[in-house]
Amino acid sequence: MNILVLGGTRFFGKKLVELCIQNGHDVTILTRGQSGNPFGANVKQIVADRVDFDALTKALSNTTWDIVYDNICYSPNEAQAICALLKGKTKKLVFTSTLSTYEVDGKMKKEEDFDPFHYQIRMGHQEEFSYGEGKRQAEAVLFKDASFPVVAVRFPIVMGEHDYTRRLHFHVERILQNQPITLPNIDAQMSYITDEEAAAFLYFVGVTPIEGPYNATASGTISLKDLLTLIEEASGKRAKISLIGGDEASQSPYGVSADWYMSNAKAEKAGFTFSQLDEWLPKLVTTLVKQLQ
The answer to whether residue 26 is domain-embedded is: yes
Averaged pLDDT score across all residues of the chain: 95
Q: Tell me what the mean pLDDT of segment 158-169 comes to.
A: 95
φ, ψ (nearest 5 deg) of residue 81: -65, -45
CB 124 within 8 A of CB 90: no
Please tell me the predicted confidence (pLDDT) of residue 175. Answer: 98
Please tell me the predicted confidence (pLDDT) of residue 243. Answer: 84
Q: Tell me what the mean pLDDT of segment 244-269 comes to.
A: 94
Would you place residue 32 in the very low, low, confident or very high pLDDT band (cuts 50, 70, 90)?
confident
Please tell me the predicted confidence (pLDDT) of residue 34. Answer: 73
Q: Give the DSSP H or E segment for 195.
A: helix 195-207
For 118-156, how does the pLDDT look when each residue is reduced to its tens digit (9 = 90+)? 999 999 999 999 999 999 999 999 999 999 999 999 999
230: CATH = 3.90.25.10
Query: Does residue 174 share a domain with residue 110?
Result: no
Question: Which residues, in sequence order, are CB contacts of 231 under 8 Å at separation 6+?
Answer: 171, 172, 175, 239, 285, 289
Residue 8 pLDDT exceeds 90: no
Query: Does residue 148 share a domain with residue 128?
Result: yes
Query: Does residue 182 share a domain with residue 85?
Result: no
For 55-89, how does the pLDDT look when each residue is reduced to its tens digit (9 = 90+)? 899 999 999 999 999 999 999 999 999 999 999 99
Q: Express as a percent the part of the chain with pLDDT over 90.
A: 88
Query: Does residue 115 share a domain with residue 182?
Result: no
CB 65 within 8 A of CB 90: yes
For 180-204, how does the pLDDT look when each residue is reduced to its tens digit (9 = 90+)? 999 999 999 999 999 999 999 999 9
The answer to whether residue 115 is domain-embedded is: yes
Please tell me the predicted confidence (pLDDT) of residue 95. Answer: 98
Q: Which amino acid is at 288?
A: L
Q: Within its chain, how far is the Cα of 158 from the centroid?
A: 6
Please tell me the predicted confidence (pLDDT) of residue 132. Answer: 98
3-state secondary structure of 137: helix
Domain extent, residue 209, equals 2-156+193-215
Please tell me the predicted confidence (pLDDT) of residue 272. Answer: 98
Residue 12 pLDDT exceeds 80: yes
Query: Does residue 176 share a domain with residue 129?
Result: no
3-state secondary structure of 219: strand
Query: Does residue 235 share a domain with residue 149?
Result: no
Please tell me the predicted confidence (pLDDT) of residue 6. Answer: 94
The answer to whether residue 270 is domain-embedded is: no
Q: Tell me what the mean pLDDT of segment 212-222 comes to.
A: 98
Residue 268 pLDDT exceeds 90: yes
Residue 269 pLDDT exceeds 80: yes
Q: Tell me what the mean pLDDT of segment 27-51 comes to.
A: 87
Residue 35 pLDDT exceeds 80: no
70: CATH = 3.40.50.720
Please tell me the predicted confidence (pLDDT) of residue 256. Answer: 94
CB 172 within 8 A of CB 289: yes
Residue 286 pLDDT exceeds 90: yes
The answer to whether residue 255 is domain-embedded is: yes
Q: What is the DSSP letter of 65?
A: B
The answer to whether residue 97 is domain-embedded is: yes
Residue 178 pLDDT exceeds 90: yes
Would you place residue 9 in the very low, low, confident or very high pLDDT band (cuts 50, 70, 90)?
confident
Q: Which amino acid is at 266?
A: K
10 Å Cβ neighbour count for 143?
Answer: 21
Q: What is the DSSP letter of 120?
A: P
Would you place residue 245 in the very low, low, confident or very high pLDDT band (cuts 50, 70, 90)?
confident
The answer to whether residue 34 is domain-embedded is: yes
pTM confidence score: 0.95
The answer to whether residue 264 is domain-embedded is: no
- Domain total for the chain? 2
